[in-house]
Amino acid sequence: MNKVLIVTYYWPPFGGSGVQRWLKFVKYLPSFGYQPFVYTPENPFVEIQDASLLKDVPAEAEVIKLPIWEPYQLFHKFSGKKKQTDFVSTGKTSFFQKAALFVRGNFFIPDARKFWVKPSVLFLDDFLKSNQINTIITTGPPHSMHLIGLKLRQKNPTLKWVADFRDPWSEWDLLDTFSLTDWARKRHQLLERKVLTTADEVITIAPYHQQRLETLSGRKVNLITNGFDEDDFKDIAHQPTVKFTLRHIGVVDELRDPRPIMEVLRELINQGQLSKDEIMVEFIGNVNSRFVNDIQQDQVLHSITSFVPHLPHSEVLKRYGTTDVQLLVLAHTAIAPGNLPGKFFEYLASGNFIIGIGPEDGDAAAILKQVGAGSIMERTNKKDLKKIILERYVQWRNPVTKNKLHASVFSRKSLTQQLAKILASLRA
């Protein structure tokens, strides 16, 4: 087998959206002739644990861990924020919170994992040589992982390097919350440009980001979207629901804000077009505290809404079988057209209808239109949002058999085959 080393911050038993992409690539790489070596922190600062994901790590994979020091625990204490979704705030923040965000954005460049770069390069330089590995992949964010690849490449010019951008870097929507100085912004841009122009191949997850990275770098960028694992859905059976069930899975913060959907539901209930006794809205995952408080203080919405802390991925999969509508909330930022979160593809695989708020001309909307799996509307388009919710409510009352979607192009195995072709081109 050909050997390849993957540098990733996120890895089981830690959970969350950052884990799935490369866990699934690693699962299927041996099927295409590659033995994966995974380099990851021993003690990352990750809120979510999900040991159920370990079952997807193939026997052929070798996982190497090295301790990491990062200042996030001090940062959380200093900022007064209890969880990561509370950092994304468009409301009032205290002086200490503003100071903590300023330090995060202007002194920890590209991110607070920068202190892991030097020890990782020292360790991996020897590891790659002793194991005769000449191809590496780095995936970010955190984009410090790319700096590990950059420095290894500088030490060994014959090393083949693939850089995977799961999110933007210098155009990341959250950078504006850090009050960046001109120097800090230019530093982000300089490091990003070095990575983009030095790596042998660059990959990203959405057509919008692909175009932006090609503009920034003046080079070809490969597109491999996120996807779904067909193995995960083999035993998922749809069951009739007692209530019309709308379910959101994943992070809710002030950039990914479901309030427009909730406001429409309240209006429909108050107008007598929906019965609050026949509807249930569930949010699973890390939800911003301010949003939870607002819902709990609303008499109508509180009666139909429940919040469930993070569930193991295996349990999330079961929820798909008891869902009528999957709610998708894309960040309302300048880069929203490129928002293609991993859960979007699982939503597709579930066969459940998707109602989303986000750019109507974005990548997610284009895919939904292509496969006929749902609708995405602008946050201000309450008229169409009401219409589509009522249509699904009527269909729930008069159920029909769900159509099987032709979305196999987004299966994790098919996507890994695309990755294998890129890796093969490096050996040509």
pLDDT at 75 over 80: no
pTM here? Answer: 0.92
Q: What is the pLDDT of residues 327-362, one digit of tens each?
A: 999 988 889 999 999 999 999 999 999 999 999 999
pLDDT at 243 over 80: yes
Average pLDDT over residues 89-100: 70
Q: What is the distance between the alpha carbons of residues 96 and 99, in angstroms, rounded to a whole number?
A: 5
Domains 2-227+411-427 and 230-406 share a fold: yes
Question: What pLDDT score was predicted for residue 173?
Answer: 82
Tally of CB atoms within 10 A around 200: 15
Q: What is the pLDDT of residues 42-57, one digit of tens each?
A: 999 888 889 999 999 9
Question: What pLDDT score was predicted for residue 176?
Answer: 82
Question: Binning pLDDT at 50, 70 and 90, where does residue 87 land?
Answer: very low
Give the residue extent of every domain in the chain: 2-227+411-427, 230-406
Q: Closest by alpha carbon to 415, among 228, 165, 213, 207?
A: 228
Tally of CB atoms within 10 A around 361: 11
Give backbone dihedrals phi and psi of 327, rounded to 5 degrees, phi first: -95, 130
**Quick one: CATH architecture of 2-227+411-427?**
3-Layer(aba) Sandwich (3.40)
Average pLDDT over residues 306-311: 93
In b/e form, how buried is each residue of 295-304, taking b as 16+ CB within 10 angstroms?
A: beeeeebeeb
Of the listed ranges 105-109, 245-249, 330-334, 403-407, the one predicted with least confidence: 403-407
The mean of the pLDDT values for the chain is 92
Question: What pLDDT score was predicted for residue 77?
Answer: 56
Cβ proximity of 139 and 166 under 8 Å: yes
pLDDT at 104 over 50: yes
pLDDT at 387 over 80: yes
Q: What is the pLDDT of residues 259-296, one digit of tens each?
A: 999 999 999 999 999 999 999 999 999 999 999 999 99
Q: What is the pLDDT of residues 161-200, one digit of tens each?
A: 999 999 999 999 888 888 899 999 999 999 999 999 999 9
Question: What pLDDT score was predicted for residue 404?
Answer: 62
Q: Closest by alpha carbon to 311, among 343, 279, 280?
A: 343
Cβ proximity of 105 and 184 under 8 Å: yes
The domain defined by 230-406 carries CATH number 3.40.50.2000 = yes
Angle, helix 412-427 to helix 17-28, in steps of 10 degrees:
70
